[in-house]
Chains A and B, each alone.
Chain A
Amino acid sequence: MMALRELTQGDKKVPVLHSNNGPALVGLVTIAAHLAQEAKRPELLGGSAEHKALVQQWLEYRLTKVDGCHKDDIKTILKDLNSYLEDKVYLAGNQFTLADTLMYYGIHHIIVDLAIQEKEKHMNVTRWFDHVQHYTGVRHHLPPVVVLRNRVYTSGHH
């Protein structure tokens, strides 16, 4: 048995997980990592030492940069992510991890409001986002974001 509650710390609400065995766990990333272990999916936290560190880095980025970001910060976040994702399929390289899930949930409200030109401008973010929203079991109740199909058919061949 586990129970998820909210705790008010200052002006922020923080999730708390109570379970029958062990102490209560506090904080989004802590709880998410615990649930991945409970579900016997430790690979979601990364394989090698380097891979694990990368996952942690992006989980922290989500908490410190993305959550509660101001309107002016959104441009910077999109720009950073866009150049980072140019040569990557997932945030932590070539394997899907918890970092992808939590970043997807964290920036969904930003991407949903982007104009089509903005999505084209941040092409690598858009591609990653579209891939994650179609990843089995990730999107749930969130509204899908429309992404243009590829443009291969618009140009004539030969």
Chain B
Amino acid sequence: MALNLTINSSNPPLGALLTAEHVKGSVNVSVEEGKDNKLCVSQSVQFSDLNSITRYLARLAPSLGLYGSNMLEQTEVDHWLEFSAQRVCGQSGLAAALGELDKALELRTFLVGHSLTLADICVWAALKGSSEWQSMQTQAGAFSHVARWFAFLGSQVPFTAVGHKYTNSKAPSRNSNSE
């Protein structure tokens, strides 16, 4: 099964690219640059919403555990997908969202369970694209748990690969890229 992911090259969807990078060993997915984000599954089925794209890719490779390993974890992943779209990319103050995220990460290496999931990928990608977070990172001691988690993920292989390739053209975060 061959899938094709087209990305908006002026504002690359980091979360979808990271997910594609993670599943590429088990799923045959090619990436193309274009104007809009979409994942073509077949001639009649395609996804254009970022969370739908990452969910579908993660479900195709269940052995990687990107969608958690039980029902509770799946629900937690869903919680964080929504959080990344609504709270991190949203207009309402980032500081409140970061406070919540910091609390959640006090006793956690990964957001859900004990390994990497879509929750980490999507929240990380949303923060990476946030200019507000970039400027906050320079203040020492602010949201230290988020900072540790953010740096840890950023140092792992698929993250460095995607980060180097796509972040230079990244525009400052906007609420939405669909007009």
- Chain A residues within 8 Å of B, Cβ to Cβ: 86-89, 94, 123, 126-128, 130-131, 134-135, 147-152, 155, 157
Q: How far is the CA of A135 from the CA of B100 in the complex (A)?
A: 26
* Residues of the B chain whose Cβ atoms lie less than 8 Å from the Cβ of A94: 151-152, 155-156
Q: Which residue of A lies closest to B113 (CB)?
A: A134
* 26 examples of A-B residue contacts, CB within 8 angstroms: A86-B148, A87-B148, A87-B151, A89-B149, A89-B152, A94-B151, A94-B155, A94-B156, A123-B106, A123-B107, A127-B106, A127-B108, A127-B109, A130-B107, A131-B109, A134-B114, A148-B107, A150-B104, A150-B105, A150-B108, A151-B103, A151-B104, A151-B106, A152-B100, A152-B103, A155-B100
Q: How far is the CA of A126 from the CA of B106 in the complex (A)?
A: 9
Q: What is the interface residue range for chain B against chain A?
A: 10 to 19
The 7 lowest CB-CB distance pairs between A and B, nearest first, are A152-B104, A134-B114, A131-B109, A94-B155, A89-B152, A150-B104, A87-B148
Q: Which of B105, B114, B147 has the most CB of A within 10 A?
A: B114
* Residues of the B chain whose Cβ atoms lie less than 8 Å from the Cβ of A134: 114
Q: Which of A87, A150, A152, A157 has the most CB of B within 10 A?
A: A152
* Interface residue? B175 (CB, 8 A): no
* Interface residue? B10 (CB, 8 A): no
Chain B contact residues, majority secondary structure: helix
- Chain B residues within 8 Å of A, Cβ to Cβ: 100, 103-109, 114, 144, 147-149, 151-152, 155-156
Q: How far is the CA of A86 from the CA of B106 in the complex (A)?
A: 9
* Residues of the A chain whose Cβ atoms lie less than 8 Å from the Cβ of B144: 86-87
Q: How far is the CA of A8 from the CA of B100 in the complex (A)?
A: 53
Q: Are A150 and B114 in contact (CB under 8 A)?
A: no
Q: How far is the CA of A149 from the CA of B149 in the complex (A)?
A: 17
Q: Are A89 and B109 in contact (CB under 8 A)?
A: yes
16 A-B pairs besides A88-B148, A150-B107, A150-B108 with CB distance below 8 A are A86-B144, A86-B148, A87-B148, A89-B148, A94-B151, A94-B156, A126-B107, A127-B106, A131-B114, A135-B114, A148-B107, A150-B104, A150-B106, A152-B103, A152-B104, A157-B100
